[in-house]
Amino acid sequence: MKENLPIVVYILATALATFSVRVLPYYAKFLNKLPPFVGRCMRLLPIAALGPLVFPGVILDFSPQWYAGLAGIGASFLIAYTKGGMIFPILTSILVTYIALVL
Amino acid sequence: MEFSDKQESLTFRRGVREGFPICVGYFPTAMAFGLVCRDVGLKIWEAVLFSVTNFAGSGQFLAINLLASGSLILEIFIGVLLINMRYLFMGAALNNKLEDGIHGPKRLLVAHGTTDEVFSIAVLHNQRLSWPYMIGLEGIAYIGWVGGTALGFLIGMVLSSELQMAVGVTLYAMFISLFAQELRQKGIMVLVIAGFSAIMNSILILCLNVGSGWAFVLSMLTASIFGALVITEGEALP
């Protein structure tokens, strides 16, 4: 960590960020009147987050065996897309990455 | 769809019953979070504290990801704030449906328990939401989330060192699984928006040497604005 703060400070900071947006609408009425465009942006944020949460990290983390992570997430994508769920795709992805790393 | 709840009142018991599938659904995801926390180097109490104080899947996964990459606290704060912005709308909708007389700590607890899944169940009722119902619904989901985190962490402790290296892919596999489910349910726009943000984030980090936290915030914001511009109000919004 660049800042050398205790982990608990980061945890409480994220808790504050989460709690503040959760509690605000229970007390502030203006949120019922936000422009539709702003509303659409906010509802799209979690989907927009998925891209940068995976790339380029999944390639950089396994460098020089950059293909290992890609093989892993490729497997989890196929299973999650066809069968749904989360724990089975994740376990398969760990197995595929493991095989790619030791080969 | 709406629940036809003219006869049955919204009791604590009913909240627990309706929240149980959420609890079951949260458990494996929370286990994945516990596993990642251990992988990143957190202690078990820190992982559990994360889930107790945050109770937010995507926000927590984002935070641990940025934490692992050495992002600054401000970057993490803004990233988590943005990813959780959707709660503003969910809270505003639930607030309009709450029974009168839920104030102080009760109101704060209801707010803390507002998750995507809790919202999607509670908002379907066509009667006012009572305090016992809300605490039952949110409480059982909370137990699944916090319990899953602890168990996931403990399972991580018995893995071999070779496997631990491969476990580094867990977080990415989890996001790709979420992406696959969203893509299946909501269509090609999910790919367009997430692909846009993935490419932009990669360019910012690899070509322009922007810090990972700011690169994340910039690409997430730009992609969501892009998405909101191309999707009109009439279309099915993700």
Chain segment B151-181, per-residue pLDDT in tens: 999 988 887 666 666 777 877 887 898 899 8
Residue B223 scores a pLDDT above 70: yes
Q: How far is B143 from chain A (nearest CA, A)?
A: 17
Measured at the CA of B73, the angle between CA B72 and CA B74, to 5 degrees, comes to 90
Residue type, B41: G
Instruction: Please give the pLDDT value at position B32.
Output: 82
How far, CA to CA in Å, does B122 sit from each of B3, B18, B95, B238? Answer: 10, 9, 11, 19
Contact A86, B32 (CB under 8 A): yes
What tokens appear for B113 in the block?
Answer: 């328990």
Residue B237, pLDDT above cutoff 60? no
CB–CB of B166 and A101 under 8 A?
yes
Per the CB < 8 A criterion, the answer to whether B107 and B95 are in contact is no
Which residue among B78, B90, B179 places its CB closest to the CB of A50?
B179
DSSP-based three-state secondary structure for B3? strand
pLDDT in tens, B53-100: 999 988 998 899 889 988 899 999 999 998 888 788 788 878 888 999
Highest mean pLDDT pick, A7-21, A48-62, A72-86, B208-222: A7-21
> End-to-end alpha-carbon separation of chain B, Å?
18
Highest mean pLDDT among A59-63, B24-28, B128-132: B128-132
DSSP H helices in chain B: 12-40, 44-54, 57-68, 73-83, 86-97, 104-112, 116-122, 131-156, 161-166, 170-186, 188-202, 212-230
Which of B69, B91, B220 lies closest to A49 in CB terms? Answer: B220
